[in-house]
Amino acid sequence: MKGFASIKIKINQKLYLKDPEQTELGRNIIQNSILLIDELGFEAFTFKKLATHIHSTEASIYRYFENKHNLLVYLTSWYWSWLEYQIDYQIHNIEDPKRCIEIALSVITDINQQDDAFEYINEAALHRIVVAESLKTYHTKSVDEENKDDFFRSYKSLCNKLVELFEQVNPEYPFAKALSSTVIESAHQQIFLASHLPRLTDFSMHDSAQDYAPITQYLEHLVFTQLLSPLPEGCHLKKTD
């Protein structure tokens, strides 16, 4: 088992029955669920397969997570919080708000490498899971009830981080929340399309030499065009909390 991270990523406690970060078995479940979902896909992944893979029992996994959906929400929540942590770390002491946005967009698009601070998490594999599977966390019939339980807190926090950065460039822009969620979804959608449905995007993606820079440049163009261009006449929204 790899080392235990000294930096704590906070996850909504309602997503798990027992905190997996607090035990070796729990960390083993997280580590290997990432590897198996990345290998098999979420639909083919089961707790039975995970139990066999880690030489444990299904019952032991169910002591940590009620079902595999909650596990997926946990993994994506961890990733969103990790991205926010990376953005905060990389823009620390940078005063130019435009440069901060550029860094944030690069982090959201291109951050798929291993982070030594979390040795039991394969961030590159988790990045691939988020690209392929993250929509399944909230495109469900239970989304409203899960939202009441704050399942998507980490995602909302990351979106709010971008809103804060956008408002530093243009505090009067009325669509900052919509732009922030659009940017995050677009980053992962364009990577997915480039990897699997290339005729639906202008970007290419090759496993041997993945280059996310063009997608980051596209997002920069999208964001700064929106923030710095005059709005159409009569186009106003009342800002909400």
Tokens of 62: 């169910």
pLDDT over 70 at 6, yes or no? no
Distance CA 24, CA 4 (A): 9
18 Cβ contact partners less than 8 Å away, ≥ 6 residues apart: 26, 63, 64
d(CA 8, CA 25): 17
Is-contact 152 165, C-beta < 8 A? no
- Quick: pLDDT tens for 31-58: 999 999 999 999 999 999 999 999 999 9
Query: How confident is the model at residue 219, as a pLDDT?
Result: 97
Q: What is the mean pLDDT of residues 134-163?
A: 97
Region 129-139 average pLDDT? 96
Q: How far is CA 180 from CA 28, 133, 227, in A?
A: 33, 19, 11
Quickly tell me which residue has 């919080």 as its tokens: 81
Place of tokens 């235990």: 4
pTM, two decimals, is: 0.91
Give the span between the Cα atoms of 27 and 41, in whole angstroms.
Answer: 20
CA atoms within 13 A on the CB side of 220: 17
> What residues have CB less than 8 Å from 140, skipping those under 6 apart?
69, 146
Domain boundaries of the chain, sorted by first residue: 13-228
Residue 111 phi/psi, 5° resolution? -85, 95
Structure tokens at 77: 């929540």
What is the length of the chain? 241
Burial (CB count within 10 angstroms: exposed 0-12, middle 13-18, buried 19+), residue 84: buried
Distance between CA 34 and CA 230 in Å, rounded?
A: 44
pLDDT number for residue 4 = 39
Q: Quick one: DSSP state of residue 14? A: G
pLDDT of residue 7: 67
Query: Considering the domain 13-228 in this protein, what is its CATH number?
Result: 1.10.357.10
> Does the pLDDT of residue 27 top 70, yes or no?
yes
Which of the four pLDDT bands, split at 50, 70 and 90, describes residue 119?
A: confident
pLDDT band at 237 (very low <50, low <70, confident <90, very high): low
Work out the angle between the directed axes of helices 68-91 and 153-169 (0-180°, nearest 10): 30
